[in-house]
A and B are shown apart, each in its own frame.
Chain A
Amino acid sequence: MVTIQNLSVVYTLKAGLSGLFKKRKGRTVKAVNDLSLSLEKGEILSLVGESGSGKTTTGRALLRLIKEEVKGTIRFEGKDVFSLSKQELKGFRKKAQMIFQDPYQALNPRNTVSRIVGESLEIHHPDFSWEKKQAMIAEALEWCGLKPVERYWNRYPHELSGGQRQRVAIAGALILKPQLVVADEPVSMLDASVRLDILSLLNGLKEEIGVTCLFITHDLALAWLISNRIAVMFAGTLVELGSAGLIAEGALHPYSKALIAAQPSATSSKERKRVIQVERKEDPAAVVFCPYYRRCMQATERCGKELPPLSEINPNHFVRCFNCRPNS
């Protein structure tokens, strides 16, 4: 349904004073580096990585929400997202929605719940009758567990808890029954006891409405819990891709393994070392090299000179590493 091919996004940082005097252009940061990925219809694919891995940028690029220059193609139902006309873009926005990380910032504090949820109706279907709009808003609110609807209709965001705000945001995203939803860390700012409900809600999207979901998170375990497939990103590059169970239990890439080892564990000894890393400098002359080379425990000389390709090491299990062997 969604095909990302060779996506690259480069941020140019402002040059600052030194740029003024030395006539230097600002530093560039490759947020996303030649990423290729596809999303199947009806699946939940998790994009897992730390801050700076490029996962959020990828999600935003997919929905055309970034201002930076984008290279590569993103196809949604066959059409290139970046060459849509203004009219087509509006149609695209109807079908592809985003759920933001911070429910405290994502809702306009001066709008009531009903206005927030009904906003896409006003944008895309101003012709609908008032009754029809009210009915659709009520349906969306109920679907997201905000019942009885009358209790929430005229509320303002600051009168709601974090979990309720996120439900409002989800209701607003779902009201026009989109086909694609990009969820950017939707539960990371919520209390633990509320998270499960929101996750169930998102899971229900897949089950009941058949929405395809790109789930962005830094929490590998969370990705395991909710998604069909997991894609692990490091420094803008895709390093491992496979089904959720496979990655959580049998990840092969050194970074994925390090991520799993770094997770808090209630059963491991308190004396263990959670992170074992090296610090390595790459050859200044090297133009391409594995992005994880600097910290990798298993790196060899080849890793510092060439970029490993993403290869299918086992059926439906892709790893970008020279030193990974298929499971016997």
Chain B
Amino acid sequence: MSTPLLEVRDLKTHFHTKEGIAKAVDGISFEVYEGASFGFVGESGCGKTTAALSIIKLLPENGKIEGGQVLFRGEDLAAKSDEEIRLRRWKDISIIFQGAMNSLNPVMKISKQITEAIRLHEDISIPESRKRVKGLFTQVGLNPALLDQYPHEFSGGMKQRVMIALALACNPLLVIGDEPTTALDVMVQAQILDLLEDLRRSLHLATILISHDLSVIFDACERLAVMYSGKIVEMGNSREVYTRPAHPYTRKLVAAFPDLELEKQRKTGKRTLGKSIAGDPPNPLDRISGCKFHPRCEWADKRCSEEDPVSMEIGADHHVFCWKWDKIG
């Protein structure tokens, strides 16, 4: 395999709050290859957004990368200064924030917002950048004539296309999308996923998609990592993980998405409501010894409560972080 575009090694990001240190990301390692699609999936509080923000060091005031490396084309971004990273953002790696489409400035024309963003990173004239924006609009399936409209005149799906256009503005190598389809209808979501896939192929773009929706990640990403409480619990090729989920959390999570269930049960015609996972997702401030999932796991034993599981390779491009993965029925 070629060298990965992005290689993260043992990344740790902590938040310093009044109530203590929250280990939002507690030692994760993964790789994203050029032009590949990678997904992070997990529930609220698992650290997936923090992991993504850590790549480009866009953390809030009280967040800090406490350890690990973020190797982008061989260079460690985590070790770079704020100024150095700032130059990298948007040009090499860009990000579509969660709910970004709702933070477009309502009193500024869309064209102005994008041209402004471009000119912040590149030294080109306004007419030049306008031309580029027109090109971007076409690329994302928007009519260039709508360039000078205001955000409120766009629908949700259209606004998200604008955010994608913004992310592509400086021809990055990697685009990170944080919950890119969460607030959208099923049809619009499908259109956006279609668009992202088209762009990935035509521009040889690497994408990292973050979502709490496992079905979206299985569908749209070639490889994925399931996160729980700041750690990766299972990682690998999507089809592999879907067919043979190894970690107890992954298995239970798969049962919680009706579209996945429908797919599976459609052939048999049966309908069964699975059981939820007992308990609640943990607070990042809590200190749980050993495997973070063990309090909610029905197969957990003494070792699980004491030792943090390590990566176990259980297939071609399939790793799991569980001591009991092969003992589970």
Contact = CB atoms under 8 A, between A and B. Distances in A.
**Interface SS of chain B:** helix
A221 B187 contact: no
A222 interface: yes
A161 B280 contact: yes
Nearest to B238: A266
B7 to A, nearest CB: 23
Interface residues of A, number: 42
B276 interface: yes
A258 B187 CA distance: 8
Contacts of A197: 275-276
B273 A192 contact: no
A245 interface: yes
Contacts of A265: 215, 218-219, 259, 263
Nearest to B281: A191
A264 B215 contact: yes
B9 interface: no
Nearest to B242: A266
A146 interface: no
B317 interface: no
Interface string B306-319: 00000000000000
Chain A CB within 10 Å, residue with most, of B44, B187, B188, B191: B187
Nearest to A164: B280
A260 to B, nearest CB: 9
Interface in B256-271: 256-263, 266, 269, 271
Contact of B190 (A196, A248, A271, A275): A275
A263 B219 CA distance: 9
Contacts of B281: 191, 193
A225 B187 contact: no
B239 A266 contact: yes
Interface residues of B, number: 46
A51 B188 CA distance: 11
Contacts of A220: 186
B186 A219 contact: yes
Contacts of A194: 276, 280
A266 B190 contact: no
B296 to A, nearest CB: 9
B222 interface: yes
A240 B280 CA distance: 38
B220 A270 contact: yes
A213 B13 CA distance: 46
Given A51-B185, A248-B266, 4 more contacts: A197-B276, A220-B186, A266-B219, A275-B190
Interface of A: 50-51, 161, 163, 191-197, 199-200, 203, 218-222, 224-226, 244-245, 248-249, 258-259, 261-268, 270-271, 273-275, 277
9 contacts: A191-B212, A192-B257, A193-B252, A193-B256, A196-B274, A244-B271, A264-B220, A270-B197, A270-B220
